[in-house]
Amino acid sequence: MYKFFVDNKLWGVPGALLIVLGIFCQVMIDVQINEWYGLFYGQIESSLKLPNSVSLSDFYQTLIRFCVLAGVWVLISVFVKFFASHWVFRWRTSMVKTYHKKFGKVKIEGAAQRVQEDTLKFARLVEDLGQNLVEAVITLVMFFPILHSLGANVAEKSGQNILVYTAIVAALVGTVVLAVVGKRLPGLEYDIQVEEAAYRKVLVLLETGKIEDTNTKRLSHLYSNVRKIHYKSYFHYMYFNATRWSYLQGMVIVPYVVMAPSIVAGLLTLGIVRQIGHAFTQVSRNLQYLVMSWPQIVELISVHKRLKEYDTH
């Protein structure tokens, strides 16, 4: 499954490094945009308090600066997405070439599905989850110091690290809770793939005439199994999603709870509040990587298990 990184020396490791470099550039622009928030909202606050304290040309220059930063970010983002799609598809091609040599010789449930559909799913999931993971790590490295420095504005008796500690604790609590609540989902996703493969196999055999129509009772039984496993997954995803969405909605107000004494006392400017809100969101959102990506991770675990089984036969 991972021969791609050894066999393809042009696309394997060099391609991965180029993707990481592109994501790093995106995060660096995010840092500059965070600084821009302080300047822009500071100008707004100054103008509201004292009309004409900020010239119209300065205000327009600030807006133009954002357009430049956003434009460069979009260009880099488009390139990274385009290049990563090609890179991951070449990884899939490497797997498929290996599986083609074994196809027909490997006697395992849903072999065709594993070679065609599961490699496609694996490629797409790795593309999304891989990029998000790299972005999360780089963002945390860049924004932790920023959040720490901004904490000086709301420290009071709590200490300068109050924002950082709050983000870390909130993310850890959410991750642990979601991991416990969603512990059954990977197994359910795997079972769904197994039942769907068995159902698809009989459909193909009926279509090609390799089994008689009298086997339609078996077909109905297989679809009944498919229905049962899907209904079971809907139930487990229901309480998982209720927990996940409640947690994410609650996280919206956390930074403002921390800043509340300083805001009420008038110790923070609008620009600082916006900077802290953006930096806290960046840190907490990326610390919550597992929480945000859990449904995709569940599917990737299932697909990886099926491909690994094909590899070992």
Q: Which class is 4-312 in CATH?
A: mainly alpha
Written as one string, the DSSP assignment of 215-270 is GHHHHHHHHHHHHHHHHHHHHHHHHHHHHHHHHHHHHTTHHHHHHHHHHHTT-S-H
Provide the token pair at 192. Answer: 């769904």
Short-list 131, 184, 178, CA closest to 18: 131
CA distances from 22 to 14, 36, 135, 293 (A): 12, 21, 10, 21
Four-CA torsion 132, 134, 137, 141, nearest 10 degrees: -120
| CA–CA distance, 114 with 100 (Å, rounded to integer) | 11
Give the length of the chain: 313
pLDDT value for 244: 85
Q: How many helices (DSSP H) and strands (DSSP E) are in the chain?
A: 11, 0
**Alpha helices (runs of H) in 114-184, residue ranges in sequence order:** 119-150, 162-181
Residue with tokens 């430049």: 68
Say if residue 305 is exposed, middle or buried (CB neighbours under 10 Å; 0-12, 13-18, 19+).
middle
pLDDT value for 79: 93
Written as one string, the DSSP assignment of 204-228 is HHHHHTSS-GGGHHHHHHHHHHHHH
Q: Write the single-letter amino acid at 195.
A: E
> What residues contact 208, with CB distance under 8 A and at least 6 apart?
none
Q: pLDDT tens digits for the chain (313 residues)?
A: 666 667 777 788 888 899 999 999 999 999 999 899 889 988 988 888 888 888 999 999 999 999 999 999 999 999 998 998 888 888 888 877 777 776 666 666 666 666 777 778 888 888 888 888 888 899 888 888 888 888 887 766 556 688 888 888 888 888 888 888 888 887 887 788 788 878 877 777 776 766 666 556 777 888 889 899 999 988 998 998 899 889 888 888 888 888 888 888 888 888 888 888 888 888 888 887 877 787 788 788 878 777 777 667 6
| CA–CA distance, 34 with 277 (Å, rounded to integer) | 10
Give rounded-to-5 percent helix, strand, coil for the chain: 85, 0, 15
pTM of the model: 0.71
Residue with tokens 């299932």: 302
